[in-house]
Amino acid sequence: MSLIATQRRVRPPRRRARVGRREAVQGWLYASPTAIFVLLLFVFPLLLVLQMSGSDWPLLGGNRGPNVPDNFVQAVDNRFFVDSIVFTLKYTAVATVLLIGLGLGLALLVQESSRWQNLLRVSFLVPSALGLASASLLFYVLYSPIAGPASGLLAGTGFTFLGTPNAALFSTVFLIVWRFAGFYMLLMLVGLQGIPGDLYEAARIDGAGRWQTFRSITIPLLKPTLALTTIMCVTGSLLAFEQFYILTKGGPDNSTITIVQLIYSVAFQGQNDLGVAAALSVMALLALVVINMAQLRAFRTDER
Amino acid sequence: MHPFHRRGARSAVTAFGVAAAMLGVAACGVGTTDTTEEAVEVSAEGTDDGTQLTLWTRAPLEKQANLLVEEYNATHENQVSLTVVPNDDYVAKVGAAAGSGGLPDLFAADIVYVPNWVEQGLFRDISSNVDALPFKDEINQGHLAAGTSDDKEHVLPFVLDLSMLFWNKELFEEAGLDPEVAPANLEEYAEAAKAVQDLDKPGVYGTATGLNCGGCLVFTWFPSIWAADADVMNAEGTEALFTSPEATEVLDTWQDLWDSGAVLPSSRDEAGPTWTAGFTEGNVGLMFYPATLLSSTPFDAGVAGIPGPGGGASTFVGGDGIGISKDSENAEQAWNFLNWMMSEDAQVEVLAQNNDVVSRADLANNEYAAEDPRLVTINEVAAQGRTPVALNFQQAYNAPNSPWLTLVRDYVLNDGAGNLEQNNQQITDILSQ
């Protein structure tokens, strides 16, 4: 009697558990393609980099066993460590201010001008169709004092686009603005179109001027878009590589070495030490996580 | 809610376990680099049985590599498939392949990197076969020495590239210089450059170089120091010697040339890709220039060894060495290629016929060289040339942010002669690591 009662009490949950388990298996099957990719392309390389950063690992010699924390000490002692951080932050600040400002400006321009809208939108967006490396090569030729179209004019003045540290920085920033302004314009445009038109109408009826409307309606309602673009732009600029690798190679006089370039040169151009390069990567990764968390938090509290 | 959490945790553990297991497998694959590679001891001729061989080289030597491989494939059962890698990516590609055990049967390396790569065990020891070659003493000694570790040879010269003084005879004549006589020393070189500059022809400059290209500067400026009987490093390659009076004289000459405006202005930022373009286009009076470009120089150019302050002549015996890789399973067939490459058939009928330098001294005066006296000059100067040997050569000199580049740019461009001592020490610091 008591046995039957127990059985009766137990059976329904067991059936439910079986159904639940089948659902769980099904769920895992659905998730497995993504899980496998994440595992293969993210988790596994990440663990490999962590292992490298703690090992004596020359490029040509392979793994020679752990040596914590030598790689980190060497990475910090690298003669370009501080310079590359300072330069990367400087470049990030310049690029982010210009790209966000110009992206927003162009978006407003395109939105306001109803007649030329399509032409403007296409002409700003076309550079985005070009890969960054190809764009860098294109500008390498344009800036070249031998092959560039302006070489004849510049020959007399002694000015070269990539000749001095500041010229090299701003020539590269110009390339980045040319390449990405249209892309950020598009993101801003989507954000702008999400703002209901009646809000502007109400503001106009209340007698608000253009500047007031922009400050009190456009900017607050555009905040999610601004957050997205700023995070993308800051992260992208902190990881800048192709443009400097192709245009300046870190020159002139080692004035334009970014962090990722430093990692690359430690790994493949001379020192050939994957361990130290991995240690630099790990530090860059941690810094990025912290910076992104701070940015997300800043924008989140504002939203509330 | 709760089961989800627990399951999540469990799966995370599983995922970590799988990843860790894979890491272990990968670590084994990557980590077991055998430094005690087996020596290659095969028959003198090697084996020609129709095996498919792989060979890697870097882009600057594409022309010579193609000629050699085509001729070998046409005359042998074995077939070599050639992969040409862009210069800047070559070290990374070889490094990745070496780590994963995927090196080709044969691969060439910039001769200045060879000592390091031999030390890292990328090349197999081929000394018993090299020692058996009847003409061993005639093979270019600089290349052989670079690939020798513990008295065992690991590489043979693949293509020799020498730096020579080239001058544009037409511009020399216009400037009132004797087009048939080379400047005898570095002072005369500077005077000739200024004379061509004084023609004041638009777009024409006295001389040119690659002031943002460590490799170019090594290749063209080291010989001036050697020509003055000084050296750039100590014998072990662990100490830089650029504070010597001979080295400072060379640097002073170039600083004076730059200040006088006789150097092609784009030389300042030239990182390598177009460093010879000005001369090839006929817009530069005279220049230290790679001898491999002799056949593609379209006008009448004179050729001589690179002079030093006060005279002398020398050259940088560069180019690539080639050896059998640690991962090759076809060592017998690979040796067959190397053995043929050193033969008279390959050296004279392929390299010399196409105006390239032979790597055997006994073949220097061949029928093709006799037709062009400039080739005889190049072959003769090759004997006085040197190949510097240092384990950390790439990091100290060739890398885009090398201290050598800082030293030259500080001295010549930025009036930083006062930093010479300190910059020289920076190079020594890296060399002695």
Looking at the structure, do residues B173 and B143 belong to the same domain, yes or no? no
Pairwise CB contact (< 8 Å): B95 & A59: yes
- The answer for residues whose C-beta is within 8 angstroms of residue B308's C-beta and 6 or more apart is B185, B186, B223, B224, B225, B226, B227, B228, B229, B246, B250, B314
Tell me, yes or no, whether B104 lies in a domain. yes
Chain A positions in Cβ-Cβ contact with residue B7 (cut-off 8 Å) = 24
Identify the pLDDT of residue B357: 86
- Quickly list DSSP for A51-113: HHHTB--BTTT----B-TTHHHHHHHHSTTHHHHHHHHHHHHHHHHHHHHHHHHHHHHHHHH-
Domain that holds residue A88: 81-256
* B17 occurs within a structural domain: no
Question: What is the pLDDT confidence band of residue A183, given thresholds at 50, 70 and 90?
Answer: very high
| Domain-located, residue A155 | yes
Structure tokens at B69: 């491989």
| Domain-embedded: residue A125 | yes
Same domain, B307 and B181: yes
Q: What are phi and psi of B263, to 5 degrees?
A: -105, 135
User: Does the residue B27 lie in any domain?
Assistant: no
The reported pTM is: 0.79
| pLDDT for position A97 | 96
- Cβ-Cβ pairs closer than 8 A, A with B, add up to 119
Residues B65, B102 within the same domain = yes
pLDDT at position B3 is 38
Is residue A265 a part of any domain in this protein?
no
Q: Which residue shows structure tokens 């100490």?
A: B239
Q: Find chain B residues with C-beta within 8 A of A50's C-beta.
A: none
Based on the domain organization, do B292 and B194 belong to the same domain?
A: yes
Does A183 reside within a domain? Answer: yes
B260 shares a domain with B393: yes
Domain contains B2: no
State the total domains in chain A.
1
Helix axes A165-193, A223-238, angle to 10 degrees: 150
Q: Is the ipTM of this complex over 0.90?
A: no
- Specify if B307 maps to a domain: yes
- Residues B139, B96, single domain; the answer is yes
Distance CA B329, CA B52 (A): 11
Give the end of a domain, one of B361, B383, B405. B383
- Per-residue model confidence as pLDDT tens digits over A110-134: 888 777 778 888 888 888 888 899 9
Chain A residues near residue B269 by CB distance under 8 angstroms: 145, 160, 162-163, 251-252
SS3 call for B402: coil
Q: Do the domain assignments include residue B30?
A: no
- pLDDT, chain B, mean: 87
Cross-chain CB nearest to A43 (options B19, B271, B406) = B19
Q: Answer yes or no: do A249 and B7 touch at CB < 8 A.
A: no
B31 within some domain? no
Count of the separate structural domains present in chain B: 2
The answer to whether residue B322 is domain-embedded is: yes
Give the domain range for residue B407.
162-317+388-431
Kindly report the nearest CA distance between residue B99 and chain A, in angstroms: 5
Q: How many helices (H) and strands (E) does chain A have?
A: 15, 0
Predicted confidence (pLDDT) per residue in A240-299, tens digit: 999 999 998 887 888 999 999 999 999 988 788 999 999 999 999 999 999 999 998 888
Residue A182 lies in a domain: yes
CA distance A203 to A90: 39
Cis before A252 (ω within 30):
yes
DSSP string, B62-80: HHHHHHHHHHHHHH-SSEE
Residues B153 and B168 in one domain: no
Same structural domain for residues B363 and B308?
Answer: no
Identify the band that residue B322 occupies on the pLDDT scale cut at 50, 70 and 90.
very high
Is A270 a member of any domain?
Answer: no
- Residue of chain A whose alpha carbon sits nearest to that of B89: A268
Alpha helices by DSSP H, B76-185: 90-100, 114-119, 127-131, 141-146, 169-174
3-class SS at B241? Answer: coil
Pairing of strands B52-58, B79-85: parallel
SS (H, E, C) A166-224: HHHHHHHHHHHHHHHHHHHHHHHHHHHHCCCHHHHHHHHHCCCCHHHHHHHHHHHHCHH
Which residue reads 């024409």 in tokens? B204
Residues B359 and B427 in one domain: no
Q: B248 with B258, same domain?
A: yes
Domain containing residue A187: CATH number: 1.10.3720.10
One-character DSSP codes across B154-172? --EEEEEEEEEEEEEHHHH
Chain A residues touching B30 at Cβ < 8 A: 62-63
Q: Are residues B240 and B149 in the same domain?
A: no
Q: Please indicate, yes or no, if residue A286 is contained in any of the structural domains.
A: no
Could you tell me whether strands B152-153 and B106-110 are parallel, antiparallel, or unpaired per DSSP bridges?
unpaired
In a domain, A74, yes or no: no
Cβ of A51 and B27 within 8 Å? yes
What is the Rg, in whole angstroms, of the alpha carbon atoms belonging to chain B? 24
Contacts with A269 from chain B: Cβ below 8 Å: 91, 394-395, 399-401
Residue B55 pairs in a beta bridge with B82, B106
Beta-bridge partners for B152: B149
B140: CATH? 3.40.190.10
Inter-chain contact A269–B394, Cβ cutoff 8 Å? yes
Residues B220 and B200 in one domain: yes
